[in-house]
Amino acid sequence: MTHEEPSELATDGVPPSSDQILAWLRGQLPSQVLKVLEACPGFTIASRTEELLAQALGGVDSGRFVVSYDLPGGGTVVEAVVHRVRNGVAVNYPESYMRRRDPDCLVVADELPSDKPRFSERYGFDFSTLREETFAWLSTQTLSVFFFNAGLDSGGMQVMAIAPANAGFFALGLGLLQGVLSPEELRGGFAPQAVIYVAPPFRHTHFKGKQVVVHNRSEGLYEMFSYNLYPGPSAKKGVYGMLLGLGEQEDWITMHASVVRVVTPYDNRVTFAHEGASGGGKSEMLEHIHREWDGRLLLGRNTVSGEERFLVLPRGCELHPVADDMALCHPSLQRPDGRLWVTDAEKAWFIRLNHIRRYGVDPILEECTIHAGKPLLFLNIDAAPGSTALIWEHVQDAPGVPCPNPRVILPREVMPKVEDGPVSIDIRSFGVRTPPCTSDRPSYGIIGLFHLLPPALAWLWRLVAPRGHGNPSITDPKAAASPFDEMSSEGVGSYWPFATGQRVQHANLILKQIIDTPRTRYILCPNQHVGAWYVGFMPQWIAREYLARRGEAKFHDEQIHPARCSLLGYDLNTIMVEGQTIGSWFLRVEIQPEVGLKGYERGARILEEFFHRELKPYLEPDLLPLGRKIIECCLDRGGVEDYVEFFPEAQSYLEE
């Protein structure tokens, strides 16, 4: 391929060619990138997501495109089928395994400090050989190339993406999530700090069909090799891992959190950051409360008796979404006001849709996805070419078994009332997927509608980060085999599956963040079940409505008290929402007759054993002294007041 000399951005209104853009950047690109681009049959440097959309379908006039690859020794593997729909592109995977993120897909190929599995240890050979094989294979493909800034436009990472052109849907997803830089932006001195390489056939030739994402860090360049075409582990969480690595070097984190500014009917404004493992309710925190056909709220359905409890809420709060999954806590955003300041780290949101099972469940999200005004990317949605993709039409993993992880990538500007720029966090909530709990089948589902947490306990929950019951976002055979008693952890920050560094360093960063933000408060919210009651995501929606209306008002002694299980912080006796009382059954699980003290105490032991197992590995020499004291307090079965004493300057929920 020939390469022209640098020229103006456009001549007579004609945008620069891919050759011209490459010529401008030649001196800034890694040598291996130049070798691949010079050897390949052809490449296109995309400057807009619309160009990636055409590649996703194999051409501007195509309505259906099959993404397939020839394997050495014969045979062809179909990775995905892409349909053009009226509201964007619908992608489906023939293999049900490829419809969710494999939580063990990340491996580290370098020798820099890391607690993650090393490539050579897991696979028995050095990655350098496979790296060269990957470059050789890419050199035989027509390629799609584009550039983006990960995180902040200034202070983030400059990244280059290289994928086979027939995997255009993957490039489209990455481009929607992270943005695509224009030629004008590239000429401003763009020098890639990271490169993403996409090589799907290697999943079959080297990894027995498994999702694998290899992170290869070096002093001047971060390389990520995606050997699969599900966007979750690479386009989404792989880039997240890059930001976590940058933050580990510079002493800041990117929270695994959604963020929403809540405006009450009385014009009170409270900003929530909702954290937790995948499936923990982050996207749902941005949704308006789901209502029944008559407008009531289904507070819960008893799994034993079938009894239902409802709540009438004439008007919910106004929601101003800020972030869906990745909240950047960069030092340049922080202010000396005692609160945490964050901004969105993404240009679009990777929204899970498994709870949208019929028309009318979430009218706002339905309208946004049907009438977006720009093409969207749907995954695991059953939509024929030329139709409108509907978010409740989920593909089936087996006859009668809907895929648990349908998704849409939704540009953030499509969301109504979305807020740009940094916001300060008033309340950090942590979501946990909980199973049903009864005296006959006790489990860790003993968390009430919500609990108030002292900062020390909030830190511990972010270290253990339970993956939770029936997680729809990932493949977790261990949890699926024993959903009631077995608890598994997502790891520190609930982002550990995406991180490449050292566990204790991230634990320290989160603790420092809590120390530096004493005016931010903390709560714990379950979803799916409260004791014997199925509740879906209603607990976090009720907590959001109730605490936003309270603002900074504190509780008095008669309203809250330490939970029987100290890991849960403070219980509430009752709460009143718009004149309606929510009784103690939903707030204190031990008084549910189906649970009782026997079921509760067994659930508390399950939770305690889980905390002890997950916290002990953090007791390393590099752990901050305060962190060591907090963990030792937990291992010694400390009480709620013991945890309060670790942060005497923190804003309290209790009246003085």
For residue 586, the one-letter residue type is F
Region 531-536: what's the mean pLDDT?
Answer: 98
Nearest residue to 572 (alpha-carbon basis) of 457, 654, 461? 654
Residue 118 has pLDDT above 70, yes or no: yes
Q: Is residue 376 part of a domain?
A: no
Domain boundary pick from 229, 250, 271? 250
Would you state the pLDDT for residue 416? 94
**Residue 585 domain flag:** yes
Does 288 fall in a domain? yes
Q: Is residue 351 part of a domain?
A: no
What is residue 550's predicted lDDT score, i.e. its pLDDT?
93
Q: What average pLDDT does this structure show over 559-570?
A: 96
Tokens of 474: 């990932």
* Greater pLDDT, 376 or 477: 376
Give the residue-averaged pLDDT of 241-264: 96
pLDDT for residue 61: 82
Q: Is the pLDDT of residue 59 over 90?
A: no
Give the residue carrying structure tokens 């003085």.
656
In a domain, 367, yes or no: no
E strand residue ranges, 446-598: 451-453, 521-530, 533-536, 560-562, 570-572, 575-577, 580-582
- Residue 403: helix, strand or coil by DSSP? coil
- Predicted confidence at residue 487, as pLDDT, reads 86
Is there a single domain that holds both residue 209 and residue 272?
no
Helix axes 237-250, 503-516, angle to 10 degrees: 70
**What is the domain count for the chain?**
2
Is there a domain that residue 355 lies in?
no
Q: Where does 77-205 have alpha helices with state H?
A: 119-123, 127-138, 168-178, 183-186, 202-205
Q: Say whether both 216 and 276 belong to one domain.
A: no
Per-residue pLDDT at 478 = 52
Q: Are residues 190 and 295 in the same domain?
A: no
Q: How confident is the model at residue 522 (pLDDT cuts 50, 70, 90)?
A: very high
CA angle centred on 527, ends 238 and 308, rounded to 5°: 150
For residue 424, is pLDDT > 50?
Answer: yes
pLDDT for 655 equals 74
One-letter identity of residue 574: T
Average pLDDT, the chain: 93
Percent of all residues in the chain with a pLDDT value above 90, rounded to a whole number: 85
For the stretch 265-302, pLDDT in tens is 999 999 999 999 988 999 999 999 999 999 999 999 99
Joined together, the tokens standing for residue 139 give 């050199």
Whether residue 616 is predicted with pLDDT greater than 60 in this model: the reply is yes
401 bridge partner residues? 398
Task: Please check the confidence at residue 317 and state whether its pLDDT lies above 70.
Answer: yes
Residue 199 predicted with pLDDT over 50: yes
pLDDT score of 649:
87
Residues 6 or more apart whose CB falls under 8 angstroms from that of 3 comprise 19, 22, 23, 26, 38
Place of tokens 């649970």: 595
Q: Which of 250, 281, 303 delimits the end of a domain?
A: 250
Cβ–Cβ under 8 Å, residues 519 and 455: no
Render 115-132 in DSSP notation, one character per residue: SSPBHHHHHSS-HHHHHH
Q: Which residues touch 513 (CB under 8 Å, ≥6 apart)?
A: 253, 329, 340
Same domain, 635 and 488: yes
Q: Do 569 and 628 reside in the same domain of the chain?
A: yes
The strand pair at 521-530 and 533-536 is best described as antiparallel
- The least confident of 52-66, 473-487, 512-526, 599-613 is 473-487
Task: Verify that 423 and 327 share a domain, yes or no.
Answer: yes
Q: Model's pTM, two decimal places?
A: 0.94
Nearby residues of 409 by Cβ (< 8 Å), 6 or more positions away: 173, 176, 177, 231, 348, 349, 350, 351, 376, 377, 379
pLDDT of residue 477: 53
Residue 117 resides in a domain:
yes
- 327: domain CATH number? 3.90.228.20
Collapsing DSSP states into helix, strand and coil, what is residue 162? Answer: strand
Residues 267 and 332 in one domain: yes
What percent of the chain shows pLDDT beyond 70? Answer: 96
* 241 is a domain residue: yes
Higher pLDDT: 622 or 485? It is 622
Q: Please indicate, yes or no, whether residues 185 and 203 belong to a single structural domain of this protein.
A: yes
- What is the rounded CA–CA span in Å between residue 457 and residue 569? 7
Q: How far apart are CA 611 and CA 569, in angstroms?
A: 14
Of the two residues 59 and 195, the one the predictor is more confident about is 195
Q: Answer yes or no: do 134 and 278 share one domain.
A: no
Model confidence at 208, in pLDDT bands (50, 70, 90)?
Answer: very high
Check: CB of residue 252 under 8 Å from CB of residue 329. yes
Name the residue with higher pLDDT: 27 or 5: 27
Kindly report the backbone phi and psi dihedral angles of residue 477, in degrees, each rounded to the nearest multiple of 5, phi listed first. -55, -35
Give residue 222's identity as a one-letter amino acid code: Y
What's the token pair of residue 579?
């004149």
Looking at residue 482, its pLDDT comes to: 46
Q: Is the same domain home to 312 and 452?
A: yes
Residue ending a domain, among 250, 283, 314, is 250
- pLDDT value, residue 6: 41
Any idea what the CATH number is for the domain that residue 35 is in? 3.40.449.10
**Tokens linked to 285:** 């925190």
Query: Are 168 and 112 found together in one domain?
Result: yes
- Radius of gyration of the chain from its Cα atoms, rounded to whole angstroms: 25
Q: Which domain holds residue 195?
A: 18-81+93-250
CA distances from 174 to 32, 69, 82, 91, 498 (A): 22, 21, 16, 14, 16
Cα four-point dihedral sign 538, 601, 473, 355: negative
Q: How confident is the model at residue 8 (pLDDT cuts 50, 70, 90)?
A: very low
Residue 4 has pLDDT above 60, yes or no: no
Please say if the pLDDT value at position 585 is more than 80: yes
State whether 536 and 567 are in the same domain.
Answer: yes
26 CA to centre of own chain = 35
Confidence class for position 57, pLDDT limits 50, 70, 90: very high
Which pLDDT band, with edges at 50, 70 and 90, does 486 fall under?
Answer: confident
